[in-house]
Amino acid sequence: MKINFAFLFLITGIVASRDMAFTGGTEELDPISKYNAQNNEKANVSFLLFTRRNPLKPDEIVLDNEESVENSEFNPQNPSRFLIHGWRGGPSDVINVLCQANYLARGDYNIFIVDWCPLASSSYLNATVNVREAGKQVAAFIDFLHRNHGLNLASTYIIGHSLGAHVAGITGKHVKRGRIRAIFGLDPAQPLFSIDRPNERLDANDAEYVENIHTNTAFKGFAKPIGDSSYYPNWGRRQPGCGADLLGSCSHERAVRYFAESLEGRSNFYGVQCESYGNIENMTCNIGVTVKMGGDLLDFKGSGVFYVPVGEKYPFAKGKIPYMHLFS
C-alpha cells in the first residue's frame, strides 16, 4: 500500500512539473534561476507589497529592515492580506495575479505576496519539509510589522493555495503577538500530510477563523474538513469543465479561481450545509441552510461542512438557488 502510493506520487511529481511548464505560471520572473534552489536550508522568504498606490511595481519589505517599511506604501490603517503560492509557484502564480487584482479593485489593502519559491521549488518532498521554515519566517515577518509598524492582526487574513495553505497554518501557529483573524486554505495539499498530525498542517486553531475550499479531494487536495468551515464545490473530488483531469491539476487550481471570483462581489457562491463530511462522500446534503463561500466579509460566516454548486467556466458562481428543491 505504502509502496504503491510512493510510486504513484513519483509519477505525479514528474507529470505535474510538466503541467507547470505548460501553464507558464512561474516562468516570467524565472524564479528558479533567481535563487539557488539547492541551497534551500538558509534561503529566505521574500515579501512583495502591492497597494492601490503601487499596483504594478511591488515594494519589497525585508524582515527587521525599518527602512524597507518606511520607504514602502505600507499603510497600517488598511487591512492586510498575505497570499501564499504552492509547490513550484512564485510571484507570478495565479493566486497572486488574480487575488491581488481583485482585492485592489475592491478597496485599499496591503497585499503581500509571500514568495517562498527558494524553499518550494525543489522536489515535492523537500518542499513539504520546508513548509515549516517558510511558515516560521512569515510569522516572524508579521510579528515584526505588528510590533514596529502597527499592522492590525484583527484585519489580517492569509490566503494559501495547496502547500501554501499549510504554510499559512504554520504561520498562524507561530505568530507570537496575537492571532491572525482568518486563513483561507485553497485546496490544501493532501500528499504527505495527515489528519492525525495537525501540528504539521493547516488546522482550525491556526486563526480565529479558518475556511477551506476543497476542489480536488480525488488526488491533490486534502479530503477531510480541517477548518472551521469546509466548502466542497461540486462535492470536492474534481471540478466541472476540467475534463478527465486524471492528475487533478485543473481541479486543484479551481479553488484559487473560485476564491478570486468570490472577491468580485458581482456573483456569489452559496454553500448548502451538510450534517457531516459523510454527506459529502455520499453526495447527500439537504439541511438547506445556505452560507456564502469565500469573499472578504467574515460576518455571518457559519461553521461546518458545505456543498457548493459551480459552473464549468468563469463566472463559476451560481448565485442563490432554492437548494431545498434540488435535494428533496
Distances (CA, A) of 37 to 84, 115, 118: 18, 13, 5
SS3 308: strand
For residue 234, the minimal CB distance to ligand NAG (Å) is 17
Site for ligand NAG in 179-238 (CB under 6 A): none
For residues 26 and 113, what is the distance between their CA atoms, to the nearest angstrom? 14
Q: Radius of gyration (Cα) for the chain, nearest Å?
A: 19
SS3 148: helix
Q: Facing residues of 50 across strands?
A: 111
The one-character DSSP state at 202 is -
Residue in the block written with cell 501540528: 199
End-to-end CA distance of the chain: 40
Backbone phi, psi, residue 271, to 5°: -100, 140
Site for ligand NAG in 36-65 (CB under 6 A): 38, 40-44, 63
For residue 71, the minimal CB distance to ligand NAG (Å) is 17
For residue 37, the minimal CB distance to ligand NAG (Å) is 6
Shorter beta-carbon distance to ligand NAG: residue 144 or 270:
144
Shorter beta-carbon distance to ligand NAG: residue 232 or 259:
232
For residues 180 and 160, what is the distance between their CA atoms, to the nearest angstrom? 14
Stretch that binds ligand NAG, among 91-99, 119-127, 208-216, 290-298 (CB under 6 A): 119-127
Q: How many binding residues for ligand NAG (CB under 6 A)?
A: 15
User: What mask of x and - would describe binding to ligand NAG in positions 124 to 153, judged by CB under 6 A?
Assistant: --x---------------------------
Catalytic residue status for 162: yes
- Tell which one of 3, 282, 300, 325 touches ligand NAG (CB under 6 A): 282
For residue 52, the minimal CB distance to ligand NAG (Å) is 29
Q: How far is CA 78 from the centre of its chain?
A: 21
Question: What is the β-pairing status of strands 304-308 and 229-233?
Answer: parallel
- Tell which one of 123, 152, 267, 303 touches ligand NAG (CB under 6 A): 123
284 binds ligand NAG, rule: CB under 6 A: yes
Contact 191, 127 (CB under 8 A): no
Q: In what order do the strands lie in the sheet with 46-51?
A: 54-61, 46-51, 110-115, 80-84, 156-161, 182-186, 209-213, 229-233, 304-308, 270-274, 290-292
User: What mask of x and - would describe binding to ligand NAG in positions 250 to 269, judged by CB under 6 A?
Assistant: --------------------
Q: Which residue is nearest to ligand NAG (CB)?
A: 278
For residue 136, the minimal CB distance to ligand NAG (Å) is 12
216's grid cell: 480536488
Active-site pick, 80, 92, 121, 162: 162
- Other beta carbons within 10 Å of 294: 22
* CA dihedral angle for residue 78, residue 253, residue 28, residue 100, rounded to 10 degrees: -10
- Tell which one of 279, 285, 291, 310 touches ligand NAG (CB under 6 A): 279
For residue 12, the minimal CB distance to ligand NAG (Å) is 15
For residue 214, the minimal CB distance to ligand NAG (Å) is 17
258's grid cell: 473560485
Shorter beta-carbon distance to ligand NAG: residue 42 or 325:
42
The helix or strand, by DSSP H or E, that contains position 161, with its residue range, turns out to be strand 156-161
Active-site pick, 93, 187, 228, 245: 187
Site for ligand NAG in 54-113 (CB under 6 A): 63
287 binds ligand NAG, rule: CB under 6 A: no
The helix or strand, by DSSP H or E, that contains position 239, with its residue range, turns out to be none
By CB under 6 A, name the binding residues for ligand NAG: 38, 40-44, 63, 122-123, 126, 276, 278-279, 282, 284
Active site residues: 162, 187, 252
